[in-house]
Chains A and B, each alone.
Chain A
Amino acid sequence: MDLTCPLFVVLCLSGLASPVEAVTACGSVDPATPSQVFNAQVIDLVLQVNSGTQVRVAGTGPMLGWQPTLSAIAFDPLCQRRGNLRWGENTVDVFPVDGTAAPSRFVFSIPASMNVQTQFQLYVAWIDTTRFKLLVLADGLLLAVVNPS
């Protein structure tokens, strides 16, 4: 919502809309910022961010020069939709596509001081058996190394 929009100003002055209501209304315009999840190992994974839709991330390997594969996610601190990263506590569940392994759950915090246009990179790396670790970067800067809870 553009707070300098004349229509918005008129609505505020008339009492028909309050700034808090307008910012959290989150209508058709999506303010989410693109972010990425990277899979650095061979197994295809399923990832779920903040109880949202499951996202599949393909594995990599020598044929790809071990280049980590990526899938798109988003940072959406203003609207806080399910499936998107947000300010404060975030929960990410990761599990292999094949088999019956229980998800690895990662919980980490994004400071509320993070710019709404920050892009996050989540790297998933395999430790052993069905355990993974998660590295969280903000615009390329390492924010957290997260072990499964």
Chain B
Amino acid sequence: MATNNSYVFNGQVISIDFSINNGSYKTVAGTDASANWVPASATVAFTPLTPTHGNLQWGKNTIQFMPTQGAWTAQSLTFEISGSANPQSQFQIYLFWESSTQFSVEVLLNGQVIYSGNQTQAVAVHR
């Protein structure tokens, strides 16, 4: 049973290509002042009962991301989704540009922060 009600949000100007758990890359557009900096979003699915490349799952999840332009190597970040998360949970993954090649990620479960960090320092704040 898949719920396609999880989202990746992009809060900065650069369009981002991202991949969840070695799935196909998707693009989430950038935003800017003309859009009042409202973050753009792309949908992802949470399918803990039938783990699938490209979908979120219980346990370790990896998100790879890179700007759509340029020759950057994809950055990778791993975070945990508790096995007690309801299969109908909805996740929000926020991508923020921190500096040059550094991005920061906030993972929310139904609006509550469960993971916070960047490529070098992912910290679980709630399980």
Residue in contact with B110 in the complex, picked from A42, A67, A140, CB distance below 8 Å:
A42
Structural contact, A61 and B111, CB atoms closer than 8 A: yes
Residue in contact with A70 in the complex, picked from B36, B98, B125, CB distance below 8 Å:
B36
> Once A and B bind, how many residue pairs between them come within 8 Å at the CB atom?
89
Q: With A121-B37, A123-B11 known to touch, is A128 a contact of B126 (CB < 8 Å)?
A: yes
A-side contacts of B126, CB under 8 Å? 127-128
Encode B87-127 as 1/0 by CB contact (under 8 A) with A: 00010101011110000101010111100100000000110
Q: With A140-B12, A140-B13 known to touch, is A67 a contact of B94 (CB < 8 Å)?
A: no
- Chain A residues touching B, range: 20 to 34
Q: Is A55 part of the binding interface, using a Cβ–Cβ cutoff of 8 Å? A: no
Give the distance in Å from the alpha carbon of A61 to the alpha carbon of B109 in the complex. Answer: 11
Give the distance in Å from the alpha carbon of A61 to the alpha carbon of B110 in the complex. Answer: 7
A55 to chain B, nearest CB (A): 15
Structural contact, A141 and B112, CB atoms closer than 8 A: no
* CB proximity to A under 8 Å, residues B56-84: none
Q: Is A142 part of the binding interface, using a Cβ–Cβ cutoff of 8 Å? A: yes
Q: Please, which residue of chain B has its CB at the minimum distance from the CB of A127?
A: B113
Q: Please, which residue of chain A has its CB at the minimum distance from the CB of B38?
A: A70
Q: Please, which residue of chain A has its CB at the minimum distance from the CB of B98?
A: A142
Give the distance in Å from the alpha carbon of A125 to the alpha carbon of B7 in the complex. Answer: 15
B113 to chain A, nearest CB (A): 5
Q: Is B52 part of the binding interface, using a Cβ–Cβ cutoff of 8 Å? A: no
Q: With A60-B111, A66-B90, A70-B36 known to touch, is A137 a contact of B11 (CB < 8 Å)?
A: yes
| Most chain A C-beta atoms within 10 Å of own C-beta, residue among B11, B12, B30, B90 | B11
A-side contacts of B9, CB under 8 Å? 68
Q: With A137-B12, A140-B13 known to touch, is A41 a contact of B36 (CB < 8 Å)?
A: no
Structural contact, A42 and B111, CB atoms closer than 8 A: yes
* CB proximity to B under 8 Å, residues A113-147: 119, 121, 123, 125-128, 133, 135, 137, 139-142, 145
B-side contacts of A141, CB under 8 Å? 12, 97-99
B33 to chain A, nearest CB (A): 6
A-B contact pairs, 12 of them (CB 8 A): A36-B36, A40-B111, A60-B111, A65-B7, A66-B92, A68-B9, A70-B36, A125-B111, A127-B113, A140-B31, A141-B97, A142-B98
What are the 7 tightest A-B residue pairs by CB atom distance, in nearest-first order? A41-B111, A140-B12, A142-B96, A142-B98, A121-B37, A66-B92, A125-B113
Query: Which A residues have a C-beta under 8 Å from some C-beta of B?
Result: 34, 36, 38, 40-42, 59-62, 65-68, 70, 119, 121, 123, 125-128, 133, 135, 137, 139-142, 145
